[in-house]
Chain A
Amino acid sequence: MSIQNKFTWTDMFIYFVLAAGSLMIFIPLWRILVISFSAQEVYLLDNYNLIPKSFSLTEYKRAFGNIGGIANALFNTVKITALGTTISMLLTSLGAYALSKSDLPGRNMMFRFLIFTMFFSGGLVPFYVLVRNLDFIDTIWSLVLPTAVSTYNLIIMKNYFASLPPSLEEAAKIDGYNDIQILFKIIIPISAPVFAAVSLFYGVALWNDYFLATLFINSNELFPLQVILRQMIIQDMVTAEVGISTTGSNMEQFKMACIVIGMVPVLVIYPFVQKYFTKGIMLGAVKE
């Protein structure tokens, strides 16, 4: 956008600041990777290196060898994320599509009913009591239903649908489709960008959740990965308490390997969805 093409001192300064900032973000993450993949002997001798000098999968094998421990927690997390994202996307896209019709009678009233919840809520305690009364304690439902809809995501989708040309729907109407068929056969297939971005937001939130599980899950075998990580590293519980055997491993490296396992899906999927962010997250959004 700038017209001149000289690389000035100002540019130099800007590039330096930004590069330094991103290095500060990158280095800790990189360190974790290096530690987790180092061979134990090498790590113990020289453990502040940024350049990997050895490569070993020992800690990862150990993590996945723990049936009932990490592997089980990972399986729970995958299950929660898959089920939760499906429910969330279904509820959100149906609601968002209907609300994107500006001539729908009663739409403004219903939209206000949703928006109000962004600014006022009953708070933690009544929420907890509700989920208990629904008998969701110690079931997967307590993790996927109570936070299934995010009003913010719903608004993003609604705005996207509203921006689509109405001629598509009119053509489908003439072909005899009803509104539900139109949504599934016409609208959803052409809305890949917003579906990708919003699924990522829901998926990441579910993948990263420890809070609902801390509140509502009591049995070890139902814990998602984040809860196990929290117990292991933050609460510093010995691994036996958490149900993980680590004989022969270096605890530090084992922890790092588990952290990496907890981050991998995000690291892998996020860059592919990144290109939709700027388009998808339009703020004008909240208004209406």
Chain B
Amino acid sequence: MKQIAKNKYFYFMLIPVLIWYAVFCYVPMYGIVMAFQDFTMSKGFFHSPFVGLKHFQALFAEEDFWRAFWNTIIIALYRLATAFPIPIIIALLLNEVRHLKFRKSLQTIIYLPHFISWVIVASIFITFLNPESGLIAAIFKDDAQDILTRPDLFRHVLILTDLWKEAGFGTVIYIAAMAGISSEQYEAATIDGAGRWALVRHVTLPGISGVILIMFILTIGKILGWGFDQVYNFYNPLVYSTGDILDTYIFRTALSDSKFSFAAAAGILKSLICVVLLVGANRMAKALGREGIY
């Protein structure tokens, strides 16, 4: 009790932020009940009638849901294979650049797109890829195709633009980790006769492996929610077959069609899969004898 009185100012400081979390994070968690209700706005979370699993059954019978589900998985795996390793490779390359000025300018440029909104990035690429007036029209003249309406190319567009925007900034965390490796390790390895590649393999990589693992677990945990902003700004009905993901599907059904309970049911499935993936990845890390994230 005395401890609490002594720290009373700290508790005052915490009140606003705890209230914020309770209202904006935990109330929506309670709101999950609406997936089991015939929810109407006028009755709210607390008074709408319960209907059991009705909305889940409807969801599983919906072809568009399964299409969005599989698209989400495929795009997530494609991203995992590209957006996860490429920043590590760029960071390793940057680490080899010895001219500090050159290195700083490179960093300034490659971090930059991270701070530009997806609306603007999509605007830029949509303008450039316009088959009538864009850069693509200049190169291919009359053979120019509208790449953004081709379902077979849409996922590649997503991956490439994502790399353009985020791969550079993704290096920050690894560069920070590399800065923490002591120079003595490099010196010792050099005295032992290690060449450049040996230094990367035996000193730099092991030095950042902990961060790589944590980033991997975090990536797995958010993998299904990855990319709403991007897909939403790039896609159009012509590419729904390969580009519609769970988040965009939920967004459309909830807001355009006002099927609140139905969309909430889809949201729960997504959250559940995310939690399972995260716990799984964390277990795996611990099984490998490494520290997980919790």
Contacts and interface: CB of A to CB of B under 8 A. Distances in A.
Interface of A: 1-3, 10-11, 14-15, 17-19, 21-22, 24-26, 28-29, 31-32, 47-48, 90-92, 94-95, 97-99, 101, 104-105, 110, 113-115, 117, 119-130, 132-133, 145-149, 154, 178-180, 183, 204, 207-211, 215, 226, 229-230, 233-234, 252, 255-256, 259, 262-263, 266-267, 270-271, 274, 277-279, 281-283, 286-287
Contact of B18 (A110, A183, A208): A110
A230 B120 CA distance: 8
Contacts of A145: 24
A262 B127 CA distance: 16
Interface stretch (B57-65, B76-84, B259-267): B259-267
B109 to A, nearest CB: 4
Nearest to A211: B229
B117 A274 contact: no
Contacts of B10: 97-98, 101, 104, 179
Interface string B100-137: 00100111111111011111101111111000010100
A281 to B, nearest CB: 6
Contacts of B138: 47-48
A183 B119 contact: no
A1 B232 CA distance: 44
B9 A122 contact: no
Contact of A124 (B18, B41, B44, B267): B267
A18 to B, nearest CB: 5
A14 B91 CA distance: 11
A18 B97 contact: yes
Contacts of A28: 124-125, 128
Given A11-B96, A92-B17, A120-B29, 5 more contacts: A120-B275, A129-B260, A130-B24, A145-B24, A281-B173
